[in-house]
Amino acid sequence: MEQEIIKVFNEKHEYVGTTTRTEAHEKGLWHETFHCWLANEEFIYFQIRSSQKKDYPGLLDITAAGHLLATETVEAGIREVKEELGLDLNIEEVVRMGMTSCSIVSEKMIDNEFCHVYVNPFEHDWDAFTVQYEEVSGIVRAQLDEAEAFFLGKTVTLNIEGYEFFPDGQRVHLSRPVSAKHFVPYREQYVADVIHFVKNKMYK
């Protein structure tokens, strides 16, 4: 996976060539990712990253996301939803929010991304999920209004509920408050923007 070939760009999102995913993260090269959020009038959903993941194991993250390969169109990124969550969505079932930039600097990498953001108006129950255990260990959701307040910095904890999934087919119910340290450190304003889009563009 780390040797996947991806496109790289300058800060203006102008194409400059290709490289491996590893080199892009080592050098902080700008590259493209696909983000798909599951959300509806009541809830927004997050994945729990697998404990096996190299980066940010066990933290809460975008519902489904991944790097776009050099040979892929942006729309082809919808495959991530099937691969990670087992949901067989096509691009007509998601609403394009737009593109944003995200930059996360850690001890291990410099992750500079142009993120193509989509939202699926998710109305199914928990049985719809079949997670890829190497990538995802659980799915949780939060009340939309509570999540908006949390990501705008108005509250310091957020109540989540959902399930942790296991390879033997079992799942364990989760219900607890979490704080900022439990999330992958992307811009909190980004998540607030997603919630604003859901509330004011999709369900107005």
> Cα(7)–Cα(5) distance, rounded to whole angstroms?
7
Helix count and strand count (H, E) for the chain: 4, 11
15-20 vs 31-39, strand pairing mode: unpaired
Tell me, what DSSP letter sits at residue 194? H
Tokens matching residue 178: 């979490």
Is the overall model pTM greater than 0.85, yes or no? yes
Write a three-state SS string for 31-66.
EEEEEEEEECCCEEEEEEECCCCCCCCCCEECCEEE
Q: Would you write out the chain's pLDDT as a tens digit for each of its 204 residues?
A: 567 999 999 999 999 999 999 999 999 999 999 999 999 999 999 999 999 898 899 999 999 999 999 999 999 999 999 999 999 999 999 999 999 999 988 888 899 999 999 999 999 999 999 999 999 999 999 999 999 999 999 999 999 999 999 988 899 999 999 999 999 988 789 999 999 999 998 887
